[in-house]
Amino acid sequence: MSVRKLFRGLKKDGKKALLPFLTVGDPSAAATVELAQVMEKAGAHGMEMGLPFSDPLADGPTIQASSQRALTSGFTVAKYLKTLAEVKKKTSFPLIAMTYYNPVFKMGLDTFAKRLAAAGACAAIIPDLPPEEALPWARAAKQNSIETIFLVAPNTPDERVIKADKLSTGFLYYVSVTGVTGARKALPRDILDNLRRVRRLAKNPVVVGFGVSGPRQARLLKDEAHGVIVGSALVDLAHRSYGKKGWKKKVGSFVERLIRAMG
Partner 1 sequence: MLPTKKGRFGRYGGMFIPETLMPAVIELEEAYKKAKRDPKFKRELTAHLKEYAGRPTSLYFAERLTEHLGGARIYLKREDLAHTGAHKINNTLGQVLLARAMGKTRIIAETGAGMHGVATATAAARFGLKCIVYMGTEDIRRQAMNVHRMELLGARVEPVEKGSCTLKDAINEAIRDWVTNVRSTHYVIGSVVGPHPYPMMVRDFQSVIGREVKAQMKRVNGSWPDLMVACVGGGSNAMGLFYTFVDTKAEMIGVEAAGKGLSLGKHSATLTAGSRGILHGALSYLLQTRDGQIKEAHSVAAGLDYPGTGPEHAYYKETGRVKYVAVTDHKALMAFKMLSELEGIIPALESAHAVAHVVEIAPKLPKKKTVVICLSGRGDKDLEEVRRLT
Give 207 or 262: the residue with its C-beta nearer to partner 1. 207
H or E element, residue 196? helix 191-201
Is 59 annotated in the active site?
yes
Is 256 annotated in the active site?
no
CA distances from 103 to 197, 208, 245 (A): 34, 25, 36
Q: What angle do CA 168, 207, 67 make, to 5 degrees?
A: 90
Tell me which residues in 215-244 interact with partner 1 (CB under 8 A): none
Tell me which residues in 16-45 interact with partner 1 (CB under 8 A): none
Give 129 or 238: the residue with its C-beta nearer to partner 1. 129
Tell me which residues in 104-143 interact with partner 1 (CB under 8 A): 104-107, 127-130, 132-133
CA distance 50 to 162: 26
Q: Site for partner 1 (CB under 8 A): which residue of 37, 76, 162, 188?
A: 76
Q: Which of 48, 147, 236, 256 is catalytic?
A: 48
Look at the alpha carbons of 41, 42, 48, 53 in this order and tell me if their dihedral is positive or negative. negative
Q: How many CB atoms lie within 10 A of CB 236?
A: 18
Q: Site for partner 1 (CB under 8 A): which residue of 24, 95, 153, 218?
A: 153
CA distance 208 to 237: 20
- Minimal distance in Å, beta carbon 33 to partner 1? 21
92 near partner 1, rule: CB under 8 A: no
150 near partner 1, rule: CB under 8 A: yes
Q: Site for partner 1 (CB under 8 A): which residue of 101, 219, 239, 248?
A: 101
In sequence order, the 6+-apart residues with CB closer than 8 A to the CB of 138 are 148, 167
Give 143 or 178: the residue with its C-beta nearer to partner 1. 178
Residue span binding partner 1 (CB under 8 A) among the ranges 18-26, 36-44, 49-57, 222-230? 49-57
Give 42 or 63: the residue with its C-beta nearer to partner 1. 63
CA distance 35 to 24: 10
3-state secondary structure of 263: coil
Tell me which residues in 165-184 interact with partner 1 (CB under 8 A): 175, 178-180
Q: Which of 34, 40, 59, 256 is catalytic?
A: 59
Backbone angles phi, psi at 32, to 5 degrees: -60, -45
27: preceding bond cis by omega (within 30 degrees): yes
Which residues are at the interface with partner 1 (CB under 8 A)? 53-55, 57-58, 60, 64, 71, 76-77, 101-107, 127-130, 132-133, 150-153, 155-157, 160, 164, 175, 178-180
So which residues are the catalytic ones? 48, 59
